[in-house]
Amino acid sequence: MADHEHLIEQEIATQPIYTGKIFRVERMTVRLPNSRETLREIVRHNGAACVIAVDDQQRVALVRQYRAAIGRVTLEVPAGKLDHPGEDAYGCAVRELREETGLKASQMRYLTTIVTAIGFCDEKVSIYLATGLSQDEACPDEDEFVDVSWMPLDELCRQIMAGQIADAKTALAALMAQTLLRAQQ
C-alpha cells in the first residue's frame, strides 16, 4: 500500500447533511494529491449481512420483495441491515435468514465482505453460506413483505450470467457458493 501514497486524499473537514433511519450523509472537504480542494458526498451505513441458503438438493432460498429505490419487485438472497454500528454480522445473517424465510442452518460459513457502492457509500455487506437447513416459521418485520421461493443453484447462476438478476450481493453469493460447493464434490 505504501507505493500508492500519492493517490490518497486528505480529509480537511466533514459536515453532516442528513441523518435518517438507515443511513446518514456527510459532505467532506478533501485535499487532492495535486493540493487542490474538492467536495465528496459520502453515505454512511451501519452495514448489512446476507445469506445464500442451499439445501441438500442444491436449491437456494430466495426472497421476492418490492424495492422502492428501483421501483420493482426483485429476487434476492435473504439480507438485512445491521441494527447498530459494530453489531455482529454473523448474528445479523442468522436473524435475517430466520425472519425472512423461517430457515435455520446447522452450518454457516463466512464467504466474504463486499463494499456495495464504493464511489460514494461505505456500506459493507458480509456474505454467508448456510447449509444443513431446517424449516421453522418465518417472522418478518412489520414493514417487510416478502415471498420465499426456491431455485436450483445452477439456474440462479444461469439467470445471473444472463443478466436476469442484477442484485450484486445475490450474484456474488450465488457464484461463490456454486464455486465452493462444486469444489467440495
114 closest CA partner among 97, 126, 101: 126
> Which one is catalytic: 100, 142, 144, 155?
142
Q: Which residue matches cell numbers 486528505?
A: 10
Mark whether 26 is an active-site residue.
no
Tally Cβ neighbours within 10 Å of residue 164.
10
Kind of pairing between the strands at 124-135 and 48-53: parallel
Query: How far lies 97's CA from each of 15, 52, 183, in Å?
Result: 36, 9, 25
Q: Which residues are catalytic?
A: 142
